[in-house]
Amino acid sequence: AGALLVALGRRSLGAVLEELLRQIQPGILPRAGTLRTLGTLATGNVFGMVPFLSSILGTLLPMLPMARTDSMKSAFCY
């Protein structure tokens, strides 16, 4: 599913990011797959992601201490 979202994000980044950001709510740790998909999408469409970086990082940075398992730490790093 993540690969499909990345492929769709190359054509319509706004719609895909809207759905991904809907899954990331402040104070609730998102699934590792959601974070990896967001990272892969950012790698595939660097210039399209720049306007969204402040809102994404503003939401994700306070959640870093909540990442306790190795898979979540890896997803946040990705």
- How do the pLDDT tens digits run along the chain, 78 residues long? 778 888 878 888 888 888 888 888 888 888 888 888 888 888 888 888 898 888 888 888 888 888 888 888 888 888
Model's pTM, two decimal places? 0.80
Residue 36 structural domain? 1-77
Long-range contacts: 26-29, Cβ < 8 Å, 24+?
A: 26/59, 26/62, 26/63, 27/62, 27/63, 29/63, 29/66, 29/67, 29/72
How many separate domains does the chain show?
A: 1
